[in-house]
Amino acid sequence: DSGVTQTPKHLITATGQRVTLRCSPRSGDLSVYWYQQSLDQGLQFLIQYYNGEERAKGNILERFSAQQFPDLHSELNLSSLELGDSALYFCASTPGGGRGTEAFFGQGTRLTVV
Amino acid sequence: ILNVEQSPQSLHVQEGDSTNFTCSFPSSNFYALHWYRWETAKSPEALFVMTLNGDEKKKGRISATLNTKEGYSYLYIKGSQPEDSATYLCAFWYNQGGKLIFGQGTELSVKP
């Protein structure tokens, strides 16, 4: 158990809908990262938050947004969903900014858009 | 464009074989190189975090080396076992902008 909790584990929704994925980092970890893994793709970096502030952005679509709350949990909001958004979404956490430390991953949320 | 390349994409070996994989990354703005092991239906778990040129790390039968000047890292598995079957990911910590960028992974299958 990595200590990183993601909910829900599975989500099935229709095109055009909006969903929220939740991530609770390990106790004490300040950074949260979101990754998307589509079929036959590697882990694509979406966004990183550090202590409530957006720190780094990857190839995150404008339809997607994220935030990190004062209690350090993070939410990834996906709107106007398309079939191509079906993927496994992982969050990971690190104690500080993350440079020299390993990332701890949650179990992922499997999103299926139908 | 930050590109982390891993080769081979997949590898099938017999139990007892030794094997190695390559991770190539940009040699500029380097801060750290991570290796992760990802088993099916589980989440990636860190093997090593390497920051210094010439670093060598070892955990049991698995070891890794790092060359930051030429931008590559090798992961070695000595005497592969079926339980080593997994996808091995490397990730490059980009020093400008703080991003942890993953390669596509090498999928290892070890047959008994």
- Side-by-side strand order, sheet with A64-68: A5-7, A19-24, A74-78, A64-68
* Number of Cβ within a 10 Å radius of residue B49: 20
Percent of chain B with pLDDT over 70: 96
Chain A residues close to B34, C-beta within 8 Å: 102-103
Chain A residues close to B91, C-beta within 8 Å: 103
Q: Measured between alpha carbons, how far is B95 from B112 in angstroms, rounded to an integer?
A: 42
What's the pLDDT tens digit per position in A68-113?
999 999 999 999 999 999 999 999 999 877 667 899 999 999 999 9
Interchain proximity A45–B100, CB inside 8 Å: yes
Looking at the complex, does the CB of residue A48 fall below 8 Å from at least one CB of chain B?
yes
- pLDDT score at B1: 62
pLDDT band at A13 (very low <50, low <70, confident <90, very high): very high
